[in-house]
Structure 1
Amino acid sequence: MASTPPSGTARRFARVVAVTAAATTVLAMTASAHGAPGGPDKKDVKAQVDQLYAEAEQASEKSNAAEEAAKRLQAEAGTLQQEVARGQDTLNRMRLDLATVAGAEYRAGGMDPTVQLMLSSDPAGYLAKARTLAQVGEQRAATLHEVQEQQRRLDQRRAEATGKLAELETVRTSLAEAKQQVQQRLKSAQALLSSLTATERAQLQAQDDREAHERAARAAERVDLGTQPPSSDRAAAALAAALSKLGSPYVYGSTGPGAFDCSGLMYWSWRQAGVTLPRTSQAQAFGGQRVSLSEARPGDLVIFFHDMHHVGMYAGGGTVIHAPYPGARVRYESVAAMPVAAVVRP
Structure 2
Amino acid sequence: MTAPISDRLDDADVARESGRRKMDWAAQHMPICDALASEFEADQPFEGERIGMAMHVEAKTAILAEILAAGGAEVAITGCNPLSTHDDISAALDAVDGVTSYAERGVDDEDYYAAIEAVIDHEPTITVDDGMDLVAAIHEDYPERIDTIVGGCEETTTGVHRLRAMDRDGELNYPVFAVNDTPMKRLFDNVHGTGESSLAGIAMTTNLSWAGKTVVVAGYGHCGKGVAKKASGQNADVVVTEVEPRRALEAHMEGYDVMPMAEAAAEGDVFITTTGNRDVIVEEHFESMQDGVLLANAGHFDVEIALDALSDLAVDSYEARDGVQAYEMADGRRLNVLAEGRLVNLA
Q: Normalized against structure 1, the TM-score is what? A: 0.26
Point out the structure with max Rg over C-alpha. Answer: 1
Q: Which has the higher helix share?
A: 1
Structure number having the greater strand percentage:
2
- Larger RCO (alpha carbons 8 Å, 6+ apart): 1
TM-score normalised by L of structure 2: 0.26
